[in-house]
Structure 1
Amino acid sequence: MKEGTSRTATRFSVSPAVTMQQAVSVWVRDPRIQKNDFWHAYMDYEICLQTNSVCFTKKTSGVRRRYSEFVWLRQKLMANALLMVNLPDLPPKNPFFSLNNASQIIDRMKGLQRFLEEILQNPLLLSDSCLHLFLQSQLSVAKIEACAAGRTNFSVAQAVQRSGLRRFHSEEDIQKDTSTSCDSDSDSSYCRDPVQKIKGLAIQKSRSAALLDHISTCQEEMSSCSSGST
């Protein structure tokens, strides 16, 4: 047996009856525009988790993930579950997704949160170490796969413990991605026009703040409309 094999496919075996007695709360919030370089931008989201479940080593955590990482997670869970579970859908990939469109961002966040909420209700999926690393460590997807397969010098539990609790809505939450290509989260105008890219870099902080204010206003208006219709 090769060294590290004992950590392969770490499982957290818990009966459905025990799982149902415990609570797992998850939120997807705080969208932020991130810059890879002068040419590429994307948006990531904060995943906040609180639980009393024995399935989780850490009871409170916060990490940042982008849409493409959610896509990877769904594919990985589907492969690991061997078609034994019907996985919920993610919000659809939108080639026209805009980093400045508050409505699109709100819809995507809601869809990502619903996806995680359904995932976390399934005891079989809760045994998947890739899910735990996705939710409670800031490892890249490549590192998650390596750790879950026992190809790292640290275990799944060690990776989770080493990921300190981040302060929500702080600059420390920003996780830089090393990707150098545009994906569905990228702002296409930034990918094409270097002048816009350089100019956008200078005003990035104010744009992000304005976007968050816009999203907050939209959410308040949606809440008012909902309460007024009842």
Structure 2
Amino acid sequence: MSEENDNAEDQQVISVWVRDPRIQKNDFWHAYIDYEICLHSNSVYFTKKISIVRRRYSEFVWLRQKLQANSQLMLKLPELPPKNPFFNLNNAQQITERMKGLQKFLEQAVQSPVLLSDSCLHLFLQSQLSTSKMEACAAGRTRYTVAQAVQCRGLRRFHSEEDLTKNLSTSCDSDSDSQGPKLQIKALAINKAASTPSLNLMGTNQEEILSCLCGST
């Protein structure tokens, strides 16, 4: 019996990509870069098997701080690429190196059963919530659950709990139940090397295969 369980765990796959950097402008003087996080998995840790969200570097910093606090120093967390005071939004090499570092961080994080049990990681990877909303949701201070926030698709940021609650009935992604194992297997079969992110600061169209499989944000 234990051998069957070991085989089932060995067959579980969690693939995560950090790709498609885009410059986002708050106003004329302030801008930042966010990155697309695409996740494919058949793991029991994820009820939503395919997802895409966009996150910026400061959100990665928030995630690591929350994971460190919640794990109570039980394990050594993977490191983020260091914050560079001279980071240039127009420097392709700097952006590529940061993107690789962010992907390495996530790849290591999703290999830890302790971290995979943390709601903050799931909200970061698969919800559209801001850091303040993720923190409130993980602490049970919202009217919607972690599972509801993860399943909901639509707006990049919800301005209030009412916005999210209203969208739950119309924008929820039925994912694994409706798309079935065939789509999951197809997604998991994508060659990871072939999907290595290319630098795209102008926000051009994503590859058709990821658009078809993962949807859009």
Matches within 5 A, 1:25-44: 25-44=15-34
In the alignment, which residue of structure 1 is the partner of 2:135? 145
Pairing of 1:10-21 with structure 2 (within 5 A): 19-21=9-11
Q: 1:106 to 1:133 in 2, by over 3 A?
A: same
Aligned to 2:51: 61
* Runs (5+) with no aligned partner, structure 1: 1-14, 165-171, 179-206, 213-230
| Distance across 1 between alignment mates of 2:133 and 2:157 | 15
* Distance verdict in 2 for CA 1:177–1:147, change over 3 Å: closer
CA distance in 2, matches of 1:80, 1:18: 28
1:28–1:109 contact (8 Å) kept in structure 2: yes
Contact 2:53 / 2:126 at 8 angstroms: preserved in 1? yes
What residue in structure 1 maps to residue 42 of structure 2?
52
Is 2:113 the partner of 1:109?
no
Cα distance in 2 between the residues matched to 1:95 and 1:176? 27
The whole-number CA distance in structure 2 between the counterparts of 1:90 and 1:151 is: 28
TM-score, normalisation: structure 1: 0.65
Determine if contact 1:88/1:119 at 8 Å carries over to the other structure.
yes
User: What amino acid sits opposite 2:81 in the alignment?
Assistant: P
Q: Which residue of 2 aligns with 1:96?
A: 86
Partner SS, residue 45 of structure 1: strand
Q: Secondary structure at the match of 2:128?
A: coil
Distance 1:56 1:142 in 2: 22
Aligned to 1:89, the other structure's residue is in SS state: coil
Find 2:69's aligned residue among 79, 91, 94: 79
Following superposition, the deviation at residue 64 of structure 1 comes to 0.2
Q: Which residue does 1:160 correspond to in 2? A: 150
Please give the alpha-carbon distance, in whole angstroms, between the structure 2 residues aligned to 1:128 and 1:16: 22
CA distance in 2, matches of 1:176, 1:32: 17
User: What is the Cα deviation at residue 176 of structure 1?
Assistant: 7.1
What is the one-letter code of the residue matched to 2:115? L
CA distance in 2, matches of 1:208, 1:115: 22
**Identity value in percent:** 70
Cα distance in 1 for partners of 2:118, 2:9 equals 14
Q: TM-score, normalised by structure 2?
A: 0.68
Q: Which structure would you say has the larger Rg?
A: 1
Partner of 2:167: none
Q: Residue 163 of structure 1 aligns to a residue in which SS?
A: coil
Q: Is the 8 A contact 2:16 2:40 kept in 1?
A: yes
Q: Give the deviation of 1:121 after TM superposition.
A: 0.3
The aligned residue for residue 221 of structure 1 is none
Give the number of aligned pairs: 160
Letter in 1 for 2:69: A
The answer on whether the counterparts of 1:26 and 1:47 sit within 8 Å (CA) in structure 2 is yes
**Runs of 4 or more off by more than 4 Å in structure 1?**
15-20, 175-178
**Which structure has more RCO (C-alpha within 8 Å, separation ≥ 6)?**
1
Corresponding letter in the other structure for 2:19: R
Contact 1:19 1:123 in 2 (8 A): no
Mark the CA change 1:85 to 1:18 in structure 2 (over 3 Å): closer, same or farther: farther
Q: Once superposed, what is the RMSD of the aligned Cα atoms? A: 2.4
The one-character-per-residue Cα deviations of 1:196-219 (angstroms, maximum 9, x if unpaired) are xxxxxxxxxxx943x98xxxxxxx
